[in-house]
């Protein structure tokens, strides 16, 4: 199973192909700018080079990590550190289905993983005894299982509380696939 780290490397390769500049060249441009704060770097890359937010974010994180004295650890391991092995097992089962969708850009955030295609379509966030799956499915009706995300996260229309590996079933995978397809 490909890791988050492999997904991040794939994202950098896609940025290199799209821009014609290597990640090392981008890091050099960022260093030459003299900027050292993530938000400033992202804003500069978007305004000066016309990069999309996801690409600017990944390059900013890459440049900051390159300058960091301590190696960056696996973001998934960090998310699940100190959590129940059962919650990590739910994530791993859900992640196998996410990988089957096709191209997915993973952007680790503080406390969750943002999933994008052309636009964001989902997020995976560990909780104490389950994994929250936020989805963008504006035309999908709310149900007992496919909850409204209004009080969870305003970026998403729905939330599914994945309480066991068995909850990663055809219905959940169908919602995930529809969200992924909308983000094309």
Range of the domain at 48: 4-67
Give the bridge partners for 161, in sequence order: 132
* pTM for the whole structure: 0.63
Same domain, 176 and 97: yes
Tell me the pLDDT tens digit for each residue of 33-71. 999 899 999 999 999 999 999 999 999 999 988 776 544
One domain for residues 82 and 173: yes
Q: Domain count of the chain?
A: 2
Do 117 and 142 lie in one domain? The reply is yes
- Domain boundary, last residue among 67, 83, 105: 67
- State how far Cα 1 lies from the chain centre: 17
Look at residues 52, 54, 95, 102 and name the one whose alpha carbon lies nearest to residue 77. Answer: 95
The C-alpha atoms of residue 124 and residue 132 are separated, in whole angstroms, by 6
| DSSP state letters, 25-41 | HHHHHHHHHT--SHHHH
117 and 137 co-located in one domain: yes
58 and 105 assigned to the same domain: no
In the listed set 48, 67, 86, which residue is the last one of a domain according to the structure?
Answer: 67
The pLDDT tens digits for 135-180 are 999 999 999 999 999 999 999 999 999 999 999 999 999 999 999 9
CB atoms under 10 Å from CB of 135, counted, come to: 24
Residues 124 and 177 in one domain: yes
Same-domain check for residues 84 and 59: no
């Amino acid at each position: 199973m490909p890791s988050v780290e492999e997904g991040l490397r794939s994202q950098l390769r896609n940025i290199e192909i799209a821009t014609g500049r290597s990640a090392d060249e981008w890091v050099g441009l960022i260093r030459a700018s003299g900027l050292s704060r993530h938000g400033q770097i992202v804003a500069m890359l978007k305004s000066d080079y016309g990069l999309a937010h996801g690409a600017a974010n990944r390059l900013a994180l890459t440049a900051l990590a390159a300058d960091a004295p301590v190696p960056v650890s696996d973001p998934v391991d960090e998310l699940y550190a100190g959590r129940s092995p059962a919650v990590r097992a739910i994530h791993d089962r859900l992640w196998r289905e996410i990988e089957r969708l096709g191209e997915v850009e993973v952007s680790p955030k503080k406390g969750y993983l943002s999933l994008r295609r052309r636009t964001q379509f989902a997020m995976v966030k560990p909780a104490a005894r389950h994994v929250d799956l936020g989805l963008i499915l504006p035309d999908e009706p709310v149900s007992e299982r496919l909850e409204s995300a209004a009080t969870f996260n305003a970026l998403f229309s729905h939330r599914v509380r994945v309480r066991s590996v068995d909850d990663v079933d055809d219905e959940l995978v169908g919602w995930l696939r529809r969200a992924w397809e909308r983000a094309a």
